[in-house]
Structures are given as structure tokens and as C-alpha cells.
Structure 1
């Protein structure tokens, strides 16, 4: 207030006003060009405070400040800085500068009954010392508490009585950093000698930061005056207005010097952004644990130059002695022993009692809460690292109300949390704090299933798609052609009339379906092709058998509706659970309002399906997966679900107020609960039976895409076999191609090659073995007089008449001998 008055005088007389004690941010609003604030503005330390809060993960902070301009000026900036690090201020404790000890004690007791245990004290050292003395007496300086003081007290540490230091053990403080320099040490020594000479009775004289700012400000002013005026005097006009004030302002703004307090200079009438040292009060003094700089955030030492980004890591700070000397970092909040019990709201609903059930007993005037969601919450609270007292309260929703109204109850502070089948939705998370989901969720479409066993006479064609049928037939034909080409010249079974060629080749190819081919394959390339093809046929037939079995048995589980668009085209009705957020989804699907029905329980949903759309019922329902699982557990063999890929939700979670630190601890407890055996012990009605698994409604036939690799292998093998055979055969016909007789045309040569291809290959191994066999064979005959009779029996079986046995060669020789005798 004094500064505002003096600044007004400076504006009127156009004389620069330099203050080395006023730190309130409110002075910025005056915007006087003649005012120079030679101190660090209180608002500059809020970034350092928020960095500490963020480093330790505290989510709520209670400022305790003096009730004057100095105390209130920092609050708006503190709100803004904490909001940036996702922390909030649930309450402001305002202390009058003339408050009695009893009034301070009452206020601190009020703060003590709250959950928050992180306090920021912003006031002078006299009032601040009283605050800590009383806090120590009532037990607020023990384990679990966090106290942070601003530079309003830390900068004036020298004036705090030594006896009051014992009450501040474990407190964190911010002070303006003053670099150690030879000039500073020499000045302090000279000043102390001068001070003791002038004040012999005062032995404990210290020079604080305000004295350094005053010295540097005076030095800067002197330099500016010498630059502008030299040895001349100030000039005033008749109205007592300085004629040299504007020039002096410009000179002051340009001045930069290495002062006792560090780099000193004015930017827009204020000092440059300072560096704050973070200290921890313990023992009989203070211990520096780190620094905060505007560019690098929290750092352990200022000499570190490899820091390239802003950091809020607590690892950059030294060891800290917390209040009560605990071994672990305070979590920043706790449920007060003498505080109120948490008021937990539970939605009251008529259906889906497997999730949440509220039973009212009028005789005992008591209420029982049960269901899967309640069981999970109780189990999670049991694994919390500390005791959390709470009570359940039923919340009844009106006919037009949705679960969004439950969120409003938490936002308005009517309940400390809400527990139930509450989905995690993005727009709700803007106003409340969700825990991690304890049930994974989503949205699906529920439809009836029909007994659709296909009794069509042509059902056997459905296992394979048309492209696969056509491809298979083409490859059977291709195989017949390959085998005929490779076997025609060497295999008698693939020779004969043309129709016999074709019939045998196709018979051989298609008989591989049942592996009934009996024709021998003589060439090695043909054998390789046949082996590969048999493997492909085996895989294809087995897949066909499995698919046909599926069509004749599982096909009865096909849904009556395949997607939402089909419902729209047919004009069918659709349902959703009353109060659910799914209502917004249904309204966005462009259904006519008359087509939208609501249900409140599984029984009601079954009634709507039984009626059907034509009688005012529904053909499908859209709901969250956990609710649909409850319904399917009762009607598993009559309904199924379809995936709704465009509909998503974050699952079921517990709801807490925005910024509540309890939400984070409950989330960790949920993870611990899910990973424990306790999760398996709680009966989960949301587990879907295997027969109720989601079906896509797609056909079961096999497509070419599943087998094209096999066909590719067969095709490559067949083409390579043909190519190798063609090269070998045409090379053997080089005499036909190279005839020099010009009278033979190319067409005749081609015909000659084809005729040669149609002839037997007598040089082949098959025909050579046959010729050798015929040449080495014998015919056994019986000779009785002049009659020779063939004997169709092995030689060794005719041993009883050895003299009558002769070979065919011998008989011919005998005939020739007789003929020669007769002729001769």
C-alpha cells in the first residue's frame, strides 16, 4: 500500500521510484513507467513450488497465507501454476496478521481434519513462526505432513528466533539464490565492522537479500545519474515536474551490472527471472538440497551444463529430512482419524442385480449392498495400504436421469465417490477422476439366433467358394494334361485311341481325390508332380470335410441380424438399457424415435425380444458387454452378440472428485487385487460361456486365398516338368528340324514331329525292359510223337517226364532239321 502511494507521487512528478522491499505481484497492475521493482516478484516462485509438487506427485495443496495484499497477491498465480501440473487447491487457509494464538489453533484444527497434508505457508517470519509453533503443539509437524514456505520467510531466516527453528524441522523453503563472490565476502566484512561501530550493542548483525538488492539498486541508480547528468543538478519546472525523469528512466532500463546479489538489471521495470535455492530445515539450520532455474527446472547443482530440458524429477534433489523424520516420502494426504467417513454413492436400479443390488429391510431400517461391483470395491479397500472408513448410500435415478447425474453428484460434492457399473467415458473424465477399470468393457449388439440348418440339396457345394471350385477343376485338368504328355510315349496305359487317351488321363487325375488311381506312372517327373498333387488334394479334402461338418452343425447359431445397417433398412426396433450412456450412441445411429425402446432388467429385455419389432418389441439391443454377459448367462442358447467396432468405452471404474489423491491409491489397489487370488475367489457373473462367444455372422466357406500357395507349388512343378520334357524331346528331333531339303515346309516338319511324339519311345527304359523280357522268355511244350502241345506250367513242375520236355527253340530246331532232311 505504501508503494502504491509513492508510485503515484512519482508519476505526478515524473521521478523514478525504486523499491527494494515491495514484492507483491499486485504492483504490476499499476503499470507505471516510473516504477522500478528492485526485488523479485512473489509470482516468480510459484513455478518453483509447482515443480516441487509435481516432482513428488502430490495432487492437492492447501495454502496458508496472511490476510493482506502481500499474502493474497500470490494466490492467483499459485492456482494457475498448480493447475498446469494437475494439482488443485481444495481450501485456502487465511490468517489475519493480528490473529491470536487461539484463532490460529482453531484454523489449523480445521485444516487438520481435511485429507490434504501438503501446506504452503506464505507470510512474514513473525506470523510464520507462530504458525509452526502451534502446528507443532497440535501434532501437525509429524510424519505424513509436508510444509513448504515461500521466500517471504526463508529470505529473512536471520531474524527468526533460534528457539522457533526447533518447530520447523523437516520444512522445505525457497530462497533467492545469491552466488558466492569475493566482492560479496569483502562487502559483508566491511559492512559488519561499520555496523558494529555504529551499533555497539548489537552483536548478531546479518546482511539479508533485501540489503543486497538495496545496495545494487543504489549502485545502478548512481551509474544511471552519472551517465545522464554528470555533475549537473536535477531540473524541475514550476509545477514540480522533473524535466530529466524520462531520460533517467531510459538510462536505468539500460543498466546491467554484476552486483552483490548477482546479475542485476531491470527488464520492463523488474529484475530478471531469478534462480531459487531449495533448502531443508533440520537440526539447527538449513541444508541446501537443490536449485530451481526458469530454463532447467529442478537441478542438483548449477554447474551442470548438460541439462537440455526442463526437469521436475525428485532425483535431482538431495536427501530430505521430512517432518517426523520418516523414511519414506509423504504421500501428501490421508484419511483423518477424527475426520468424516467417506460417503460412497451407489446407483439404485431394478435390473442387472448381479452387478449392483440394493436391498432395503423395512423391519430393521437397514440397507444391504451387494453385487459384483460392490464385492470388488470392498476387496480393493481391503488391500489398501491404510484404513479408509466409508459408508454406502443408495442413489435413485429418475426416469429421465442417466448415469451422468451420478457424476454430477460427485462434482457438486454431495458424495465423496460413486461405486457401481459406471463406464469410463471421455466426456465424464473432464469433471471427475476415474480409477483404473476393474472390468474391461465395450459395446456390442445383442440379436437372437435362428435354427438355420441348411437342408438344401446343394449344400455340399458351400464349403468351397466358387473361385476355389473353378481353380480346383482347372488344376485337375492341368494335371491330366501333364501326366498324359509325360507318359504317352513310354506308358501303354496312356496310349490307344484318342478317346482312350482323354478318358484315362482324366480318370487318373480325378481319381486322386479319393486316392483310387491304379495306372502306373513310369517317368520320374510325372511321379514328382503326382506326389505334390496328392499332398494338395489331401489338404483340400480334409479342409472340405471340416467345413462341411461346420456348415451342417454350427450353422444353426447364425444371427438373425448381421449389422446395424440391416436394422435400419428393415425398419426394426432397437433397445438400450435405461440410464446408460449407450443412449447417445443409439440416437446417433439415425433411428426414428419410435424405433427406440428402453429396458431396465434382463427379464424386460427378454420380453421385448419375445414380442418382436412388429408387436412393439425389438429385434436387437445395444449395451455394454458386462450387462450383455449377465443376460447371456441366462439365455445363452437363444441369443448371440455382434461386434460393434465403432463403439468403445473404457470399462467399469470407480468415480472420485477431480484431483482426488484417493483415486490413484485405489487404482494401484485395483491392480494388486486383479493380480491376486482374491479376484478368482469372487464369483464373476460377467464371464461369458464358450457357446456364447461372439459370432461374426460371416459364411464358413473356404476361399482361394487360403490355398493359392499350394496351387502355386503344383503349377510350378507341372510347368517345370513339361518344360524339361519339351526341351529333351525337341532336342531328340533335331534331325527333323535341320533337314536341308527345301521341299519340306515347316508345317510338314511340325506334323512329322507330332507323329514322332505319338510313336512309342522304344529307347525308353520301359520298352527296353519289355523287349529284353520277350527275348529271354521260353515256351514249354510237350512232344508226343509228331504232336507238340504247349504246357502252361513252370518247368520244374514237369520233372516227371523230362524226356518229353523241350523248349520252343529246340522244337524249332527239330522242325528245321526235319525240313532239311526231307528236302535233302
Structure 2
């Protein structure tokens, strides 16, 4: 079990909850038992009962302790940065600007506060609290084995030492030695290690559905060879899944099945693909599948395998220079005009043939739904599969757009190609992530 499940299930007052997870292994962040934590819990419980007299036996979990440490870190950072510049600076907004984001104020104390927070280090309730390269360092995790009415301590896992019996090695004990790890009690109240599939079998392979994409094929790329009637499926998501399966202590036979029509076109949207698992047409789905609540009503997800969220990219103001038309000089105007006419004609034909059946258009609907859940009105949104450059040039006041939102993994693939025209604002919304 992950740390969230372990903390919630083991602290459940319902005995039937722990009965259903007997023998299960779980991890949870390790919080040392100190006098400071005990005193803090007493003070918090007294205050909580004063404010909520009808709630009995309320307990403060690891997330509450982390929240207290985060508030302490911010308070220390404010003390270091000072409170002299608490105002906001208005940017100089030019009439030619195609985005309204430049009209937002910028905190004068923001950079110094960010620097102070990054350098903050102290002994918190949950342990050492400090940042490395802007990232809060993870704590040690405690490995527990559910047995009886609670969890038995098995050992600890740290990012640097791996699995160890103790966080501080005793005399003659090697950090990396796991010989002292407590005996595990597996489901069925047995100490015999499960073997998984004793005899590997290839008869019944798992059917793993994969999306057929026309863009962002770095994640999943389905290539069909009509001559040999074979299909080759590659990509980042495929590599991740294959690597994880290879680490399993038992054999897992599976095959990738493209979610496509007989002509090779996508058979539906990502929602349709995920729903095939519920219909038992696929045993699982692998790809750049965003974890959203509506899909979780029909399927279960793995833990996220890539950082995601939604971010925004905008045009670089003034990216055009006095030599912006220098590329036109090698060819004559007649040739440029002829090339442009053919380009527009071919693009129009492709659009007519593809725009109604292209499954990649479904991702825009997902983004709009994510934005609406954050309070953005739907009438202010449009699909960026339209000519984004043209919409940017118009501006939001003239029927165009001021910014474009997309999921962070896709933006990271786009930016190297369009770095000279667009930039990503250092702002992201931590929302759904990718999972299998």
C-alpha cells in the first residue's frame, strides 16, 4: 500500500478495515516519537475539541504535521526576507501586447521570499526540513506489515541507503544489511513467501490496450506494416510499462492491442479507450492516460509514473526583429506566393479529412473540463488545435486568445520547437497526472 492508504487504513476505528488487509505490506512516512510531537498533539487536540465539541477522538495524522512544518518554514522565510516590500509592481502594458497576463501585478518581495524559503532549514515535527534544488527532501519511510489490529514495524527505506533495519546503525551493523529485517506474515497468516505463478504460461495473455495517436508519438507510437501484417508499438509509456513488468518476481504474459479501426484510425477517444477496461475488452490500458475522477468510476489506476499538471504558455512579446523577413530573400515573391497557395490548399484538404475523426481532439475537452473545475467560465475557452499563432496575434480582445493551456508533458515536447516564439510562464496547476 502507498503511504496515503497505509496512514488512513491503519488509523481507521473500524475493525473490519484491518481485517480485510491482513498480511499486506505498506509504507508510511516515518515520524520519530519526540516530546515536541507529544506536546504539540496535546495542544492541538485541546484546541480542536474547543472548536469542535461534537467531534470525539480526533487525531492529527502525518499530513497535519507536515502542514504545520510548512507554515513554520514560510514564517521563517518571511522573517528572513523582511516585510519592507509587500507591494505589487505593475508591468508596462503596451497596446500591441497580445496577452492580458502582463497586466497582473508582480510581488516586489517575491524573489527574495522564494530565495529565503529555498534556504530555510530547521528541525521540524516530522524531522529535518530543508530544500535541495527547490525540492523538499523526502523523509524516511517505515515499512509495516499489517497483522492483528495494527501494523508491525519491518524496517525502514531511505533514498540513500535503501532498505535497512534501523535508521541509525548499531555497532557491527551494516547500513545496507537487510538480514535483521523482521519476518513477514503474508495473507493467510503464513510466513511462506508467495511464489506467484509457479509455472510460467503463455496461453492466456493479458490484452493491454494502447491509444493510436497522430501527435505526441513520443509517448505511444503505433506503426502498422501492411505488407507483413505486423504492428510495432514503441514510446516512453511502453518503455516504462515493460521495465516495471521485468522487475516482477513472476512471469506476466501480455500483448499490446491498438485501440483502432480496421483502417488503422483511432476507434474512439481516450474516455472510450479507458471504458473498454470496464467492458472487459481490455485487461489494462497503457499510454499517456490522465488520471481523472470520471474515469476512476469505472477503472482503477496505478500510482502516477510522470509528473503532470496544467501550465500556460504565451507569446514572447517583441520576438520579431528588424530582420524577421530575411528568410524571404533567397526566393522570389512569385515562388513564395505559389508555395503558400499550395500549402494552404493541402492543409485545407487534410483538415477536411481529419478534423472530425481525429481522436487527439478529445484532449482539449479534458483541458476545458479541468479548467472549469477551477472556476474558469466555458465561454472564454476555445480549442488550440485551431491556428494558435493567428489567435495569439489577435489578442483576447479581438476574438483571439491571450494564453494557451496544456498538460505539462505535452508542453515540454512542444517548447524546443517553438522556443523562439513562445515561453512557458512559471506557473502550473497541480492537477491530474499520468497513470496506467
Question: TM-score range, shorter-chain basis?
Answer: 0.3 to 0.5
TM-score (norm 1): 0.23
- Higher helix content, 1 or 2: 1
**Relative contact order, higher structure (CA 8 A, sep 6+):** 2
